[in-house]
Structure 1
Amino acid sequence: MICNHLTAQNTTLEITGKVIETNSKQPIEYATVTILSNNNKKTITGTVTNTDGIFTMDTKATNFYIEISFIGFATQTFKDFNISNNKINLGVISLSEDEQALNEVVVRAEKSQTEFKLDKRIFNVGTDLSSTGASALEVLNNVPSVNVNIEGEISLRGSQGVQVLINGKPSVLTNADGNALGTITADMIEKIEVITNPSAKYDAEGTSGIINIVIKKSEKKGLNGAASLNAGFPASNSFGLSLNKRTEKFNLFSQLGFGKRLFPRESETINSDLVNNITISSNGESDFNEKFGTILIGTDYHINDSNVITLSGTYAYEVEDQYSTTNYNTTDATNAITDSWIREETTEATNPKLRYELQYKKDFKRHKDQDLLFSALGSSFRKDQSSDFLNTILTGTDTDLQQETRTDYKLEDYIFKLDYTHPFLEKYTIETGSQYAINIVSNDFAVSNLENGIWVDDVDLTNIFDLDQKVFALYTTAAYEGDAWGVKLGLRMENTDLNTVLINTNETNSQDYTNLFPSLHTSYKINENFSLQAGYSRRINRPGLRSLNPFSNIRNNFSISTGNPDLQPEYTDSYEFTSIQKIGKASLNLSLYHRYTTDVIERIAIFIDNVSISRPENIGTSNTTGIELNGKYSPTNWFSLNGDFNLNFFDRKGIYESESFDFKGNKWSTSMSSKFKLPLEFEIEISGDYFSKYKTLQGEVADILYADMGVRKKILKGKVILNVSVRDVFASRIFESETLQDDFYLFDSNLRGRFVTFGISYGFGKGEAMEFSGQRR
C-alpha cells in the first residue's frame, strides 16, 4: 500500500531507514528525521540517526509526511511511502550537499569565531565545533584567553578564580564536584561570553573574571553521556557517570559519582623568640582520607519557543578521616634541645551537601536579545567533626597532654535574581535587575583538656559563632553599540546587613551599610581582528567566615590563626585598558591595569610566649599597577600553545597600633602550556607555572615553580579515552612564607607532593568520553 493518510486509529507504525552522503556513500550521523502533520505542517515527533546513519522510530499519526535533513545538505521529503505490516522502510536515503545553503552558513557562522563587544568577547560556536560531539570543556579550550587542562580545571588569563555561569546565572552544573559540564555538548552551545572586568550587572564581590555559556533553545538531540573510572597514587579512585537526554520539550541531565581519595602533606614550622633566643620547631606528616558520593539531576522544560523552566539539584556526602604525627623540639641559645615531644591527631568528620536551582527564562519575539530571567539558587552544607590530640613527651619536664575538639558547622546560602534586557533603536540596550543573597552560618566549636581523668572545657576557646548576612542589590546599565565604537554605563546599589554573635559570651557585632558601584566600559573596533577596550568598575571584598570567626583549629598550639568579627570589607577601584588582536592563527591580549584598594585586609602576627597568633585587620591602602600579556597560538591542528605573563608593582601604606606598615614591592607570574596531537590518536599536554617571591606586611612569600603533564589516547573513534595525568611532576610545589620582626621570626612550609592519576572514559550517544576528576572544591 502506498499512502500518507491512514484511517485506522491507534495503529503504531515503525519507520526505519539509513541516511548516507551521496558522493562518499558514507553514513551521516545525527541527521534529523522528522514526522510532520499534513494539516498544519507542525512537528509530530522525530529522531536522529546513529553512528551508522540508521534510524528507527514509532508513531501513531495518521496523516503525515517525513523529512530527512542535515545541516549543509538538501532536505529530502517523503509524502508517499510503502506501509507493510505496520512498517515503513524508507531504505537508503542519499543526501546531497546544498551549495547555496553551505555558502550561507559559511558567511554566517560555519566556522567558530570571536566577536568584540563592549565589556566582553563573544565566541560564537560554529558547525566546525558543534558537529563534533565535543563537550563544553573542549569548546572552552578553543576560546581565546581560556584554558582547560587535562583534568578539566578552567582558567581565564592564567587565573583559576574564574566564575562559570550558564545562561548568565550560577548553576549546579558549574558547582558540583566533577566535570558536570561534560553533560553539555558543543551542539547545545550557542556562544560563550568572556568578561574580564564585570559591569554593574554582576556581583560587586571580587572575581578574576566571568565565563558565561549560552545554551541554544531545545532541539531533538537524543541521548548522550559518559562513564569514567579513575585510579591514582596517592590513592585517588573514582567512578563517574553523566547522562543527558534531549527531547522536543525536555532536556534531562544527571551525574553520579563516588570514590575515595588521599591527600598527604608534609609541613615544617619555626617559631623563634629573638629576645630570649628560644626556638620551637616542628616537622610533621599528615594523611587526609576522604570517601565521597554525589548525585546531580535536573531538567529544562521548554513550555514553548519563548518560555523555559529549569529545575535541578545535587546532593553530596563526604566522610573524612585525618591522621597526623608531628615532632616538636625546643632549643636554647646554644641550639641544644631542651624539650621534645610528639603530637598526634586523629580527626573524623561527615559533610552532607545539598544544592538546588529553579530558573525561568522568557524570550520576546520583538528582538532576539530581549529576555526576562528569574533564578533561585539554594545550598546547604554541614560538618560534624571531632578531633583527638595527644602530646607524648620525649625530653623535658612537661607531662603528656591530651585534648579534643568538637565542631558542629552549618551553612545555608540562598540567591534570588531577576534580570531584564531590553534592546531598542537597533544600537541601544538597557539592562536592569535585582538580587537578594542570604548567608546563614553557625559554628559550634569546643576545646576540652583531659585533667585528672576528666574532660574539662577550655572556656577561652569554646563558643558558638553565628553569622547572618543579607545583601540586596539593584542595578541598571545602558549601552550604545555602533559598528565600530560603543559605550556602556552602569550603576549597582548594594545594601549589606551583617550580624554576628558569640552566643556563650554574648558578644555581638552589627553592620548595615549601603554602597554604590559604578561601571564604565568602552570599546573601539579598528578592524575585524583588532579591538581596543577600556573599563572601570568598583568592587567589594566582604570578609568571609574564616576571617570573621574568632576561633581556630588547635592542630599546632604554637601557631594559631583566628578571625576578627569587627573586620570591615575592602573596596577596590579597578581600571583596565586592553588591546585584543588576532594575527593569523594567534590571538594576543595585552592589558594595562591599576587597582586602588582601601581598608586592605591583612593578617597581623603577634608573638606571646613562643606562640604566634595571626588575626586579620583592616590596614591602610594599596595601589597596584601592572601589565598582563596573554597569548594563544595554534599554528596547526596538532599543536597549540598558551602563555600568560603578569607583572605588577604595589605601594602599600598603613598604620596599625601606631606602627607604620608602609612598603613597596613587586611580584610577577608566568605560565605556559602546550598541547600536541600525535599519530595514533595520542595527545600530550605539558604545562609549567612560576610565581615570584614577594614582600608581605611582615615578611616574604617564597617563589614557586612547578609543572604538570598529561597523556591521552583515543580509541574506538574517540568514544573511549585512556589518560594519565601527573600533577606537580617534580614535587616542587612548596608553599613557604617567612615573618621577620625585631623580636621574633616565623617560618611555615607545606608540600602536597606528586599526584598521578590513570583513567578510562567511555562516551555514548553524542557524549564525549571525559575524566571525572572528583576534585575538591
Structure 2
Amino acid sequence: MNNRVFIILLFFTATIWAQNKETLISGTLVEAETGQPIPYATIVLNDTNSKATISGAITNDNGTFEINTTADNFYIEISFIGFKTLQLRTFETIENRVSLGKVKLYQDSETLDEVVVRGEVSKTEFKLDKRVFNVGKDLSTAGASALEVLNNVPSVNVNIEGEISLRGTGGVQILINGKPSVLADESSNALGTITADMIQSIEVITNPSAKYEASGTSGILNIILKKEEKKGWNGSISLNTGIPDNHNVGVSLNRRTEKFNLFTQIGAGYRSLPRDNEAINRNLENNEVIFSEGENFRNETFFNITLGTDYHLNEYNVFTLSGNFAYEIEDQPSETNFRFFDGDNTLVSQWVRNETTDATNPKWQYEFNWKKQFKNNKDHTFQLSALGSFFGKDQSSLFEDTTIEGENVDSNQRTATNYQQADFTFKTDYTNPLTEEYSIETGAQYVINDVGNDFEVEDLVDGEYVINESLTNDFEWIQKVLGVYATLSYENDIWGVKGGLRIENTDLETLLANTNDGSSQNFTNFFPSFHTSYTISETFSLQAGYSKRIFRPRLRDLNPFFNIRNNFNIRTGNPELQPEFTNSYELTSIYKIGKASMSSSLYHRYTTDVVERVSTFIDNVNFSTPENIGTNSSIGFETNGKYSPTKWLTFTGDFNFNYFDRKGTFEDQVFDFNGNQWSTRLGTKLGLPADIDLEINGNYRSDFETVQGKQSGFAFLDLGMRKKILKGKIVANLGIRDIFASRIQENFVNQPTFETYNFGQRGRFFTFGLSYAFGKGEAISYSGRRR
C-alpha cells in the first residue's frame, strides 16, 4: 500500500514539474524578397483550442525575438503591417527549446491598400501663412526618403538628381523643425538620411511672415520630425559616374533609438564642369571689334563628412549637435582665343590666352539646437539655435598670352587669391497658443558675416613679375544683422488672420585695405506682414498675404575684385551699393479637382533701388558693375499643378507670367521702359513595368528686355530613369541633363557708342548611379553636388 501511494505521489509531482517547465521559442524574422530583417513585428502565442492569447513579443532591430512559455498546446502567429500574417502550427521542441531559425514574411499589397482606405493617406491642410502636408502611412510605411516625400507635396518638385524647386523656382530654403540644419545642406544629399517614417509633416511657405528673416528666397520648406520610439538602422552606399567626369562614392547612415537619432554621411569624388564662352565687343565710334571665344573648366576633387545627433533628454526637451567638413582641390584650366579688327575690318592681331589655376577650399559647418516643449500644449515651444560655417580659398593663377598672327601682344600675368568667409547665426523662437484660436510668436536672430578677400595681380615686365597696383585689392566685408519679431494670429476651422512686425538693424562695413578706402552703413528697417485665409471646403481654400522683403547686396556685388580670365570683359563689384526693398502682395487659391491639385496666384511686387548690372565701355574693354537704378513695378500670374490619374503616372506643370514697368536714371541716362517675361515647366513621371520610373522635364524661359539691352530666352529638356531592384534595396539611376544642349546664357547690350554680346553654355551631362540600402528603408542616393 505504501509503495502504491509513493508511486502515485511521484507521478503527480513529475506531472506538475513538467507543466511548470518553461519552453523558449526563438527566431529571426526577415523579408522573403530581400532577406532584410524586419524590426518591431508582433509575435503572438495562441492557445490551439480556445484561440486565446497566451504570450507575445516584438522583434528587435535585427528582427530577432524570444518568448518563454509554460504552455504546451499553442501555435505561433507573426504579423507586421504590409506583410501577410503567418501562422506556425508545426514545429519541433528539443530540450524545451523551439528554434525557428529564419522566418520569412511576404509582402501583402492588399493590406497596404486597406491602410490607405482607412483614411491614413497623406493630405494637405491649409493654414494662415502656409500649407501643411501631413505624412500618412501610404508614404511612411513605404521606406521612402525625405526627398521622395517632398516630391509628393503639391507645388514641390524633386528631380531624379535631388534638386528641389517650389512653384517651378529653385533657391528654396530647407528648415528642419523650424531651423537651418546641416541635414538640409544642398552640398550633399544628407537630407536623404531622413526616412519618411521619421517625418510628421512638411510646411510649405511661399510668402513668409515676420517670423522669418526678411532677406528673400523663393520659399521655405520646413520638415517637422516626429518624436518617436525606436526606429533602428537606416543606411546606404552610393556609387556614381558621369560624362563629363563626375565620379563619387558616398555612405549614409542613420540610427534612431528612444533617446538618440544619430546620422552621418561620408563622401568623396571628382567632377569636371566645362563651359563654352563667346563674347563680342563692338566700338560704334571707330568700328573696332574684339572677338573672343574659348572653353574653361572647373575640375574638383572633393571629400566631405557629416556627423550629428538628436538627443531626446525627455518628452519635452531635444538637443541637436551636428557638423560638416568638406575639402576641395580645384584645377581650372582655360583657353580663350582673341581676334582684334580695326575700323576697316582688317585683322590687327590674333592671340590665345591660356590659364592655369590651382586652389584648395576647406569648408566646415556646425550646429547646436535646443527645443523645449511645455506640458500644457505641444505647440507651446521655445527654441534656441546656433549655426556657424567657414569657407576658405587659397588660389593661384597663371595667364599666358601667345600671339598667333599680327601685332605682337605676348604677355604673362599671374594672380593670387586668399579668401576667407565666416558666418554665424544665433536664433531664438518662442510660440505660445494662448487659446485654441489665438497664438503669439516672438523671437530674435543675430547674423554675422565676416569676409576677407586678398587679391593680387602681377605683370611680367623684363623677365620679372611686378605688382599691378590698379588691379590689386585687399577687400574686407563685415555685415551684422540683428532682427526681432512678434506675430499675433487668430484661426478657427474656417478662416484666420495673422499680423506681424519684424525689425532688423543692419551694420555693414567694407574696406579696401590697400588704399584704406572704406564705407560704413547702418540702417534699421521695419518689415510688416499680414496674412489671412478662408477655407471654403476641404478641396478649396483662399489665402492672401502681404510682406516687405529686402535684398542685401552679396559679396560679389560689393567686392571690386574681378577675374582677369578675359581682360576685355571684366565683372567688378560696387562697395557703395545699397539694398533693394520689395513690397509683395499675393492672392492665392488652392484647390483639388479629383486627383489633381492646383495653386494659382495673382501678385504685385514693387521694388525700390533695384540692383542691375550696367556696362561701361573704355578702350574696347567692357566693365560690368552693379548699380542701384530706380524702381520696378511688376504684376504677375502664376499657376502650378500636379495630376496623378493613376499610381504610375504623374504630370506636373508651372507657368509664370509677369508684366514689369521700370523707371530710373543712371549718369544722366534715363532707363524708363516696360516689358514682360514668362516661363513654364512641364514634367511627367511614368511608372513602367519591372519597377522602372521614367521622368521627363521640359523648361522654357522667354527673352526679356534689360536696362541696356536684352536677355535671350531658351528651352531645355532633362530626362531621368530609375530602376528599383529587390524592392528598393538597390536603386539604379540614369540621368541626361539638357538633352539637346540648348540651355544657354545669352546677353545683348545695345548702347549709342558700343555694343556687346556674351554667350555661355554648359552643355549636355550624363550621369549614372547605383545605391544599395542596408537596414531599413530604400536606398539613398548621394550626389555630392557643389555647395
Q: Same fold (TM over 0.5)?
A: yes
C-alpha separation in 2, matches of 1:4 and 1:651? 90
1:52-71 alignment, distance < 5 Å: 54-56=63-65
1:265-414 alignment, distance < 5 Å: 265-414=275-424
Report the Cα offset of residue 334 of structure 1: 3.3
Q: Which residue of 2 aligns with 1:682?
A: 692
1:13-412 alignment, distance < 5 Å: 16-17=26-27, 29-32=38-41, 48=60, 54-56=63-65, 110-412=120-422
> Residue 521 in 1 paired to residue 528 in 2?
no
> Residue 727 in 1 paired to residue 715 in 2?
no
Moved more, 286-295 or 407-416: 286-295
Relative to structure 1, the CA distance from residue 297 to residue 537 in structure 2 (aligned partners, 3 Å threshold; closer, same or farther) is same
> Residue 607 in 1 paired to residue 617 in 2?
yes
C-alpha separation in 1, matches of 2:295 and 2:732? 33
Relative to structure 1, the CA distance from residue 69 to residue 567 in structure 2 (aligned partners, 3 Å threshold; closer, same or farther) is farther
Counterpart residue type for residue 268 of structure 1: E
Q: Which residue of 2 aligns with 1:655?
A: 665
Q: Which residue of 2 aligns with 1:41?
A: none
Counterpart residue type for residue 680 of structure 1: A
C-alpha separation in 1, matches of 2:423 and 2:77? 49
Q: Which residue of 1 aligns with 2:641?
A: 631
Counterpart residue type for residue 121 of structure 2: K
C-alpha separation in 2, matches of 1:653 and 1:3? 95
Greater Rg by CA: 2
Counterpart residue type for residue 696 of structure 1: T
2:235–2:780 Cα contact (<8 Å) kept: no
Report the Cα offset of residue 624 of structure 1: 0.8
Tell me, what secondary structure is at the counterpart of 1:775? coil
Relative to structure 1, the CA distance from residue 508 to residue 31 in structure 2 (aligned partners, 3 Å threshold; closer, same or farther) is same
Report the Cα offset of residue 658 of structure 1: 1.6
Report the Cα offset of residue 57 of structure 1: 7.6
Report the Cα offset of residue 248 of structure 1: 1.7
Q: Which residue of 1 aligns with 2:779?
A: 769
Question: How many percent identity over aligned positions?
Answer: 58
Tell me, what secondary structure is at the counterpart of 2:345? coil
C-alpha separation in 2, matches of 1:48 and 1:605? 67
Q: Deviations over 1:278-324 (max 9, x none)?
A: 00011101222110011000001111111111100000000000111
Tell me, what secondary structure is at the counterpart of 1:370? strand
1:431–1:477 Cα contact (<8 Å) kept: yes
2:562–2:571 Cα contact (<8 Å) kept: yes
Q: Which residue of 2 aligns with 1:476?
A: 486
C-alpha separation in 1, matches of 2:681 and 2:349? 45
C-alpha separation in 1, matches of 2:434 and 2:364? 41
Counterpart residue type for residue 322 of structure 2: S
Q: Deviations over 1:567-592 (max 9, x none)?
A: 11000000000000011110011100
Q: Which residue of 2 aligns with 1:539?
A: 549
Alignment gaps of 5+ in structure 2: 1-16, 45-56, 69-75, 87-91
Relative to structure 1, the CA distance from residue 292 to residue 49 in structure 2 (aligned partners, 3 Å threshold; closer, same or farther) is closer
Report the Cα offset of residue 645 of structure 1: 0.3
C-alpha separation in 2, matches of 1:517 and 1:395? 60
> Residue 551 in 1 paired to residue 561 in 2?
yes
Report the Cα offset of residue 151 of structure 1: 0.4
Q: Which residue of 2 aligns with 1:455?
A: 465
Query: TM-score, structure 2 length as denominator?
Result: 0.89
Q: Which residue of 2 aligns with 1:507?
A: 517
C-alpha separation in 2, matches of 1:172 and 1:569? 28
Query: In the comparison of the two structures, how many residue pairs are matched?
Result: 742
Q: Which residue of 2 aligns with 1:578?
A: 588
Tell me, what secondary structure is at the counterpart of 2:626? strand
Relative to structure 1, the CA distance from residue 47 to residue 494 in structure 2 (aligned partners, 3 Å threshold; closer, same or farther) is farther
C-alpha separation in 2, matches of 1:3 and 1:417? 65
Report the Cα offset of residue 115 of structure 1: 0.4
Relative to structure 1, the CA distance from residue 67 to residue 618 in structure 2 (aligned partners, 3 Å threshold; closer, same or farther) is farther
Alignment gaps of 5+ in structure 1: 7-12, 36-44, 60-65, 77-81
Tell me, what secondary structure is at the counterpart of 2:332? strand
Counterpart residue type for residue 672 of structure 1: L
Relative to structure 1, the CA distance from residue 189 to residue 743 in structure 2 (aligned partners, 3 Å threshold; closer, same or farther) is same
Q: Which residue of 1 aligns with 2:51?
A: none
1:47–1:222 Cα contact (<8 Å) kept: no
Q: Which residue of 1 aligns with 2:676?
A: 666
C-alpha separation in 2, matches of 1:465 and 1:3? 87
Report the Cα offset of residue 259 of structure 1: 0.5
C-alpha separation in 2, matches of 1:84 and 1:372? 58
Counterpart residue type for residue 294 of structure 2: G
Report the Cα offset of residue 68 of structure 1: 8.9
C-alpha separation in 1, matches of 2:145 and 2:751? 52
Report the Cα offset of residue 711 of structure 1: 1.1
Moved more, 759-768 or 307-316: 759-768
Report the Cα offset of residue 20 of structure 1: 10
Q: Deviations over 1:364-423 (max 9, x none)?
A: 121121111111000000000000001111223334110000000000000011001101
Report the Cα offset of residue 33 of structure 1: 6.3
C-alpha separation in 2, matches of 1:420 and 1:75? 47
1:177–1:294 Cα contact (<8 Å) kept: no
